[in-house]
Amino acid sequence: MCKGTLRWLNRLDVKDRLYFAPLDGVTAGEWDIDTQDEDSIALIHEGMIYRASEAIRMALAEVGGIGYGIAFFLKMIPLRWREWGYRWIAQRRKTLVTEERCGVLDEGVREKILE
C-alpha cells in the first residue's frame, strides 16, 4: 500500500512539488524523523514534520487540483477520527491490498525518491 500511495500521490502531483524518501533513509535521518512507527508516513512542509493522516492531508493539499479538494474535505473531519481511520487502514493494509506490485515504481516516481 505504501508504494501504491506514492504512485497515487505522484499522479496527482502535476506541479512536481512532492519528493519521497524512506523513513529509514538518509533524508529522514537528517530531519530526525522518529522511525519507531513504521506504519506511518511523514511529510515535511515549511520546516514542520507532519505524520500519519495529517501528512496525507497536507500532501494532498500541496498537489492541488482534486487533491486539494480531498484535503479540504479531510480537514472537516476531526483529527482524532482521521487518525483512527489512518491507523485502521494501516493495520489492515495487507488484507485490503492484495496486489503484489509493491516493489515496482512507475517512471516519474523513481526520479522523485530521495535517499
The more confident residue out of 42 and 40 is: 42
Assess whether pLDDT exceeds 80 at residue 44. Answer: yes
pLDDT-derived band at 6, boundaries 50, 70, 90: confident
Return the DSSP state at 17: -
DSSP one-letter string for 84-108: HHHHHHHHHHHHH-----TT---TT
When the pLDDT of each residue in the chain is averaged and rounded to a whole number, the result is 81
pLDDT-derived band at 106, boundaries 50, 70, 90: low
Structure confidence by residue, pLDDT tens digits, 56-103: 999 999 998 999 999 999 999 999 999 999 888 888 776 766 655 545
